[in-house]
Amino acid sequence: MDYQACLEYVSRNCTRNIPGGFERTKRLAELAGSPQETLQIIHIAGTNGKGSTASAIASVLQQAGYRTGLFTSPHLECYEERIRINGELISREAFAEIFTWLIEQAVPVLLEEGMHHPGEFELLTAAGWIYFKDKTDFVISEVGLGGTLDPTNVITKPVLTVITPVSLDHCQILGNTVSEIAREKAGILKPEVPLVLAPQHPDACAAICERADNLHVPVTVLQESEIQKQPLKTAMQGSYQQMNCHTALAAVKNLRARGYLHITDEQIKKGLETAFWPGRMEYLDLGENRSILLDGAHNPAGISALTENLRMLYAEKELILFLSILDDKEQFQMLKEILPYASAVVLTHPAYNSRAQNWKALQEWVTELVPDCPCRMYDDYQEGLKQEMAALQPGQMLCITGSLYLLGDCRKLLHAYL
């Protein structure tokens, strides 16, 4: 099968959120020889900041000469983004080769054994481990969702676990309180494997540390007050990136102290300075004092961080919000937080996404929350982006946010426009 045929197969056969993903991924891995058991993996869970933290750790390790695999989700523009070594995406040829084996050899075994067909993320997780085997010194792997039953939690012997800030998101799956969600995220902890814990809500910290204590896990707990005293230089914009980079720094120092890494302070410094993660406070200068800001804020905590940085960094800009929020998100809460900063709102939806069926209903809340704010709607995000960019005036910033899927769709177009 070629690359396109693999994608078409996934689109036709991979149903979203079928229970049992952990067991199916475990079986896929067994059929591939359990490659994850031979990898030195840094396993990362959390609600926000996983990608940026993972990218910062990877940048530092690469600076020290280590072959570093990075497994993240979701992608913005193409599946290959999720599986990379030293910043280089898996080739389409390698992607197709691994997926063809999974589809033609492994999946039939699962079906014969009475399992459901693996989901998209389960196949991608297995594909990543297969690709990384014998090619990497370290792998940094994000969870997909949660922790305990996440497909990536088939990893049994990570060299380190990391939990970024935990907040309310995916409540229908993970729990209705910060404590419940934190306990689910803490499912990645393994007996006696150290944990680096980013600053947390007190309830989240208590829930995670309770599990850590039960498993005899040494915990490095970062404090926000200490982070604020020691700003780090990084290419990633946004105050929350300081937290992510400090979390990455603590992870690297932990591995160095335990003898896993031979790395200098200068290499760490350069790695953090050059770390970058697309779609997080990503600023594009269009000239003539016109600009675009791409930020993947897709839950209440993300929107809060975005609004804080809009106040800090772009208070002088006239903000045009180019917005989509998926149906299963806290739509009203997110709108209530960010709409006061907008001079106009543009509502649209990402391409081919079944979780954005009710996007037009957001207009009622926009009218209720900011009745004097112009609200424009585009069923075709491509046409919307084209028109809004053409109409952008000096002093105005177009902020594309609310959905990582919309962000990825628009980012593809911007490559062509700019």
* pLDDT tens digits, 225-267: 888 889 899 888 877 889 999 999 999 999 999 999 999 999 9
State the pLDDT confidence band at 270, using cuts at 50, 70 and 90.
very high
**What tokens were used for 290?**
């016109």
Tens digit of each residue's pLDDT (9 = 90 or more) over 179-236: 999 999 999 999 999 999 999 999 999 999 999 999 999 999 999 888 888 989 988 8
The percent of residues in the chain predicted with pLDDT above 70, rounded, is: 97
Residues 172 and 326: beta-carbon distance below 8 Å: no
Q: What is the mean pLDDT of the chain?
A: 92
For residue 74, cis peptide bond before it (omega within 30 degrees of 0): yes
Q: Which residues of 102-121 are buried (b: 16+ CB within 10 A; e: fewer)?
A: bbeebbeebeeeebeebbbb
Cα–Cα–Cα angle for 162, 144, 59, rounded to 5 degrees: 50
**400 membership: H or E segment, kind and range:** strand 396-401
Mean pLDDT throughout 18-28?
Answer: 92
The percent of residues in the chain predicted with pLDDT above 90, rounded, is: 76
Mean pLDDT throughout 49-75?
Answer: 95
Sign (positive or negative) of CA dihedral 183, 186, 72, 220: positive
Mean pLDDT throughout 372-395?
Answer: 94
**375 membership: H or E segment, kind and range:** strand 375-377
Question: What are the backbone dihedrals phi and psi of residue 349, each rounded to the nearest 5 degrees, phi first?
Answer: -155, 155
pLDDT reading at 272 higher than 90: yes
Task: Return all residues near 350 (Cβ < 8 A) that are at least 6 apart.
Answer: 324, 356, 381, 403, 405, 406, 408, 409
Mean pLDDT throughout 336-349?
Answer: 94
Mean pLDDT throughout 164-168?
Answer: 85
State the pLDDT confidence band at 397, using cuts at 50, 70 and 90.
very high
Mean pLDDT throughout 88-112?
Answer: 97
pLDDT, position 171: 47
Please give the model's pTM, rounded to 2 decimal places: 0.90
Task: Return all residues near 113 (Cβ < 8 A) that are at least 6 apart.
Answer: 27
Q: In whole angstroms, what separates CA 56 from the centre of its chain?
A: 13
Q: Looking at the DSSP assignment, which residues form a beta bridge with residue 377? A: 347
Domains in the chain: ranges and CATH: 3-274 (3.40.1190.10), 282-417 (3.90.190.20)
Mean pLDDT throughout 307-329?
Answer: 91
Mean pLDDT throughout 1-23?
Answer: 90
Query: Which candidate, 257, 267, 258, places its Cα nearest to that of 65?
Result: 267
CA distance 296 to 255: 30
pLDDT, position 173: 54
CA distance 198 to 243: 7
Amino acid at 303: I
CA distance 344 to 318: 9
Residues 138 and 69: beta-carbon distance below 8 Å: yes
pLDDT, position 356: 75
Mean pLDDT throughout 281-296?
Answer: 93
Q: Which residues of 373-397 are buried (b: 16+ CB within 10 A; e: fewer)?
A: eebbebeebeebbeebbeebeeebb
Residues 333 and 307: beta-carbon distance below 8 Å: no
State the pLDDT confidence band at 169, using cuts at 50, 70 and 90.
low
